[in-house]
């Protein structure tokens, strides 16, 4: 079906664009279900138009992160070696399967499970890091030095495989350029900060989405009116989101990532829009309250940190002035 200019779709594109810029993911996992369930767009048309719209969204966020130095170019290169041919192959495979095939549904359910588990894993990882800091303080050890982004070595073969699988999935479903890549990169490169992962993912997604877009324009169900409606809102949205993520503290970006992962996974697993909204609110309110309580118990609350710094300053030897 062809879709003319629709201002409501533009507003949806704006909201999704902010999420994409902030977290590097969420475009396909959010926009495709919105187009299908709220605007009655056929699934294949939604996938095709969303992938083509992403081709214009990703470079805007990527440029912001490149200017901030939050992109690992070595990772980008190796991810693209797998993702570009994988994306084009995914579109061709989708065309061969056709609308009657159920592989898309199976892929989306599997991806939904992965996203929910990834959100829980991010929360567990933050708690384990908090415990590690507490143990270092108990031993009187200095905090572990942070590695610079350029010093992180590239794991070549696993990174290329991640790109290939992610490209195949995004070519078939429009979901995966951010969702699957971010989850995989979190596991492969735990020392890289969340904001740097977002920037790296946004840049590597440009050639990936270009290959998928070409495939959908040639073989998919791309409609200009639908794609244009999405882009009118998404382009300014992704710029705003990328600006925030490139400047924001790592903790804020990690929390946003976890919530979007959880919401996207729940939606892909069949949760209603109302239930997804309840999950997001519960994660925001309950998660913040629970994390504040955990930090307070382990001496990480802001007041506890101030008191600890005062004690350390008082215990430090006074500098000796030359007589």
On the question of pLDDT at 86 being above 80, the answer is yes
Q: Rounded mean pLDDT of 66-86?
A: 87
How much is the pLDDT for 245? 77
Q: Rounded mean pLDDT of 5-9?
A: 82
How much is the pLDDT for 157? 92
Q: Rounded mean pLDDT of 138-163?
A: 75
In this structure, how many other beta carbons lie within 10 angstroms of the beta carbon of residue 205? 34
On the question of pLDDT at 76 being above 80, the answer is yes
pLDDT digits (tens, 9 = 90+) for 282-310: 888 887 788 778 777 766 665 555 555 56
How much is the pLDDT for 45? 78
How much is the pLDDT for 178? 58
pLDDT digits (tens, 9 = 90+) for 20-42: 787 766 566 667 777 877 788 87
In this structure, how many other beta carbons lie within 10 angstroms of the beta carbon of residue 84? 20
pLDDT digits (tens, 9 = 90+) for 216-272: 777 666 778 888 888 898 889 888 888 887 776 666 767 777 787 788 778 778 888
Q: Poorest-confidence range of 145-154, 163-172, 233-242?
A: 145-154
3-state SS, the chain, equals CCCCCCHHHHHHHHHHHHHHHHHCCCHHHHHHHHHHHHHCCCHHHHHHHHHHHHHHHHHHHHHHHHHHCCCCHHHHHHHHHHHHHHHHHHHHHHHHHCCCCCHHHHHHHHHHHHHHHHHHHHHHHHHHHHHHHHHHHHHCCCCCCCCCHHHCCCCHHHHHHHHHHHHHHHHHHCCCCCHHHHHHHHHHCCCCCHHHHHHHHHHHHHHHHHHHHHHHHHHCCCCHHHHHHHHHHHHHHHHHHHHHHHHCCHHHHHHHHHHHHHHHHHHHCCCCHHHHHHHHHHHHHHHHHHHHHHHHHCCCCHHHHHHHHHHHHHHCCCCCCCC
Confidence of residue 323 (pLDDT cuts 50, 70, 90): very low
pLDDT digits (tens, 9 = 90+) for 177-210: 556 677 778 778 877 877 788 788 888 878 877 8
How much is the pLDDT for 299? 67
How much is the pLDDT for 1? 45
Residue 192 is classified by DSSP as: S
């Amino acid at each position: 079906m062809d879709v003319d200019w629709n201002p409501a779709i533009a507003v949806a594109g704006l909201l999704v664009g902010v999420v994409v810029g902030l977290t590097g993911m969420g475009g396909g996992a959010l926009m495709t279900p919105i187009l299908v369930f709220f605007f009655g767009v056929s699934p294949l048309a939604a996938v095709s138009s969303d992938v083509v719209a992403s081709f214009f969204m990703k470079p805007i966020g990527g440029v912001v992160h490149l200017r901030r130095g939050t992109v690992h170019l070595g990772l980008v290169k190796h991810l693209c070696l797998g993702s570009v041919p994988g994306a084009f192959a995914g579109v061709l495979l989708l065309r061969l399967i056709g609308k009657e095939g159920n592989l898309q549904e199976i892929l989306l359910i599997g991806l939904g499970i992965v996203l929910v588990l990834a959100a829980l894993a991010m929360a567990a990882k933050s708690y384990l890091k908090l415990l590690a800091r507490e143990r270092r303080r108990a031993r009187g050890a200095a905090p572990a030095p942070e590695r610079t982004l350029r010093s992180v070595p590239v794991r070549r073969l696993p990174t290329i495989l991640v790109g290939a699988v992610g490209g195949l999935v995004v070519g078939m479903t429009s979901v995966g350029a951010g969702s699957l890549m971010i989850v995989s990169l979190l596991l492969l490169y735990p020392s890289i900060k969340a904001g740097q992962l977002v920037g790296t993912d946004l840049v590597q997604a440009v050639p990936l989405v270009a290959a998928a877009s070409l495939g959908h324009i040639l073989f998919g169900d791309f409609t200009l009116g639908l794609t244009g409606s999405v882009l009118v809102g998404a382009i300014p949205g992704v710029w705003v989101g990328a600006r925030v993520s490139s400047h924001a503290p790592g903790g804020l970006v990690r929390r946003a990532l976890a919530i979007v992962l959880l919401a996207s996974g729940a939606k892909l697993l069949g949760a209603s829009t109302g239930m997804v909204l309840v999950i997001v609110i519960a994660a925001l309110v309950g998660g913040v309250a629970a994390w504040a309580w955990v930090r307070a118990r382990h001496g990480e609350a802001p007041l506890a940190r101030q008191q600890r710094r005062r004690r350390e300053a008082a215990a430090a030897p006074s500098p000796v002035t030359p007589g």
